[in-house]
Amino acid sequence: MLSARNFPFGRAVRPLWLDYGIALGAFGVSLLARILLEGLGDFYYLPMVPAVMLTAIVTGRRGPTLLTVMLAIIANVLQVSRVDVIDTTANALLFFVVCWMVAGMCWRLRDARQRAGDLSRRLARRNQMLDGILDSAPVVTIDRLGRIRFLTRPARAILGVAEGAAVGDPLAAYVEGFVVPRTGDPGAGDPGDHETIWTGRRGDRPYPLRIQTGLMPDDLDGHHATLFLTDLTQAQAADDRARELHTQLNRVWRLNSLGEMAASLAHELNQPLSAAANYLHASQTEVEKAGLAGQSAGRTMGLAKAQLLRAGAIIRRMRELLAHESRSMGVERVAAMVADMQGMLGMIERNAGVVIEYRIDDREDIVRAERIQFQQAMVNLIRNAVEALDGRDDRRVRVTGAAVGSDLYQLTVEDSGSGIETGKLDTIFRPLMTTKSAGMGLGLSVTRTIVESHGGTLAVGRSEMGGAAFSFTLAREHELEEA
């Protein structure tokens, strides 16, 4: 198929027969011109030269060009009657050499125009790409005095200036204490290696601003440095939210741990207190048999027994309070609750040098849960998984979530550690039982209590990653899913 864009100086896209047709057409026109000029003088080969040039430039092929040259020689020999064969042959050879040299120049001209066209198109595409990048990147260029020479639309939005404004203004008017980078500053030549956090101002409002610097070679057209701006307001707000969530979860963790410890102590103390009350009751009975002599001691024992019974009642009430604590359950999306934790978990990820992978299916993930308690349980499991990777080369934690059946949503936290010894699987959920040298033995116990308060069961198994896999389920809310 012919392409108007590539004709006549583009790359050959025509079939070969068409190029030979062009050669024949060019020769025919030149022959007609020679015949018409015959009465004006002896032009011989001269009218044929344009045909050779046209064929060479348009087709760019040696075959059609050679055909035009040979046809011109044959036509000239047939039209001009010469007795001297040597003269005819010499003229034909001279015409051939001259035309072939002219064709060579035409081919080089054609190739040069092709290369120029290709370069022009590449430059146009590159300019379009750069325009697209600059249209989406917050870039500012400054001169040696720190005055703004150019800024993109996103940069204007960050600095809070209107289109056409700020050019010629010192950047220090918008960035507090800005210092113009100089050659020799650490990393100043590479925008990726040198960045500084500054304080920008939009009106009277300060905001954190990161500036990455790259110096231009030889101050190109007065532009001394290219600055890449990043408004850190949202990033700082996200860090603040992550720290706030971390603080809140730590507070909930302490309260949950205190409750778990109190429940455990209540369970353990209830039996010895009951035994002591029974012993006092028996002693009181024996003393009362002694008559008047034992009445005073009996009354004292009765008072002691009453206090023991009172302590037992207090402990029972504490256990009931902890066991039947009403939690503020709400309708939540699992994907949203996990996403809310990722800022805080990112800090754990960076500090521990691990990779936490999330595979949370956000379809059919509406459940009934207490958001903070759920997040506390997840953080406990993820922290345990991270700690299990200590000293391992493969340091991966995977968090998965998906609907199971028609009524449940299951969450699993697994790691690439060494797993849990079979003999310890029955004891890891008991209060005050720990496998860590500095552990209190409350983490998994608290987590299990939280899961059970949500109507689920915390289970542990072997992960396909090699380590442990802790999983639990939450009840789904079908009515809201259908709505």
CATH code (residue 267): 1.10.287.130
Selected residue with higher pLDDT from 219 and 406: 406
Does one domain contain both 349 and 265? no
pLDDT of residue 187: 47
Q: What does the pLDDT average to over 445-466?
A: 86
Does one domain contain both 319 and 348? no
Q: How far apart are CA 209 and CA 172, in angstroms?
A: 13
Does one domain contain both 421 and 382? yes
- Strand ranges (DSSP E) for 143-251? 148-151, 175-176, 195-202, 205-215, 225-231
**Of 33, 122, 112, 108, which Cα lies nearest the Cα of 72?**
33
DSSP bridge partners of 201: 206
Does one domain contain both 361 and 450? yes
Q: How far apart are CA 403 and CA 178, in angstroms?
A: 53
Residue 416 belongs to some domain of the structure? yes
Residue for token pair 């018409």: 36
C-alpha of 237 from chain center: 19
pTM over 0.75: no
Does one domain contain both 405 and 438? yes
Q: In total, how many domains does the chain have?
A: 4
**Of 346, 372, 334, 344, which Cα lies nearest the Cα of 249?**
372
Q: Are 327 and 373 in contact (CB under 8 A)?
A: yes
pLDDT of residue 323: 53
Give, for 396, the enclosing helix (H) or strand (E).
Answer: strand 396-404
Selected residue with higher pLDDT from 37 and 373: 373
pLDDT of residue 146: 85
Residue 164, burial from CB neighbour count under 10 angstroms (0-12, 13-18, 19+)? exposed
Which of residues 100, 133, 166 is at a domain's end?
A: 133
- pLDDT-derived band at 439, boundaries 50, 70, 90: very low
Residue 281 has pLDDT above 80, yes or no: no
* 302: phi then psi, degrees, rounded to nearest 5: -65, -40
pLDDT of residue 322: 54
pLDDT of residue 412: 95
Residue 371 belongs to some domain of the structure? yes
| DSSP letter (8 states) at residue 170 | B
Does one domain contain both 127 and 149? no
* Pairing label, strands 175-176, 195-202: antiparallel
Q: How far apart are CA 273 and CA 305, in angstroms?
A: 10
Does one domain contain both 185 and 225? yes
Give, for 20, the enclosing helix (H) or strand (E).
Answer: helix 16-36
* 414: phi then psi, degrees, rounded to nearest 5: -135, 160
DSSP bridge partners of 469: 414, 461
The tokens of 125 are what? Answer: 């595409």
Does one domain contain both 156 and 227? yes
Residue 245 belongs to some domain of the structure? no
* 185: phi then psi, degrees, rounded to nearest 5: -65, 145
Task: Domain of residue 221: give its range.
Answer: 139-232
The tokens of 292 are what? Answer: 């008047």
DSSP bridge partners of 386: none
The tokens of 222 are what? Answer: 């007065």
* 175: phi then psi, degrees, rounded to nearest 5: -130, 115
- pLDDT tens, position by position, 170-181: 888 888 888 887
DSSP letters of 46-110? GGGHHHHHHHHHHH--HHHHHHHHHHHHHHHHHHS--S-HHHHHHHHHHHHHHHHHHHHHHHHHH
Residue 98 has pLDDT above 80, yes or no: yes
Residue ranges of alpha helices (H) inside 137-177 are 153-159
Q: What does the pLDDT average to over 94-121?
A: 87
Residue 229 has pLDDT above 70, yes or no: yes
pLDDT of residue 482: 52
Q: What does the pLDDT average to over 23-37?
A: 80
Q: Are 429 and 458 in contact (CB under 8 A)?
A: yes
Q: Are 415 and 471 in contact (CB under 8 A)?
A: no
pLDDT of residue 9: 44
| Greatest alpha-carbon span in the chain | 173
Which of residues 202, 232, 262 is at a domain's end?
A: 232
Does one domain contain both 281 and 212? no
Does one domain contain both 345 and 449? yes
Residue 273 belongs to some domain of the structure? yes
Q: Are 130 and 137 in contact (CB under 8 A)?
A: no
pLDDT of residue 256: 58
The tokens of 27 are what? Answer: 């020769």
- pLDDT tens, position by position, 232-247: 877 777 777 767 766 7
**CATH code, 143:** 3.30.450.20
Selected residue with higher pLDDT from 252 and 26: 26
What angle (nearest 5°) sits at the alpha carbon of residue 395, between those of residues 390 and 400? 115
pLDDT of residue 474: 92
Does one domain contain both 338 and 459? yes
pLDDT of residue 350: 86
Residue 362 has pLDDT above 70, yes or no: yes
- pLDDT-derived band at 360, boundaries 50, 70, 90: very high
- Strand ranges (DSSP E) for 22-144? 139-142
Q: Return the minimum-mean-pLDDT range out of 34-48, 386-400, 417-431.
A: 417-431
Selected residue with higher pLDDT from 418 and 38: 418
Q: What does the pLDDT average to over 276-299?
A: 66
Residue 325, burial from CB neighbour count under 10 angstroms (0-12, 13-18, 19+)? exposed
Q: Are 411 and 451 in contact (CB under 8 A)?
A: no
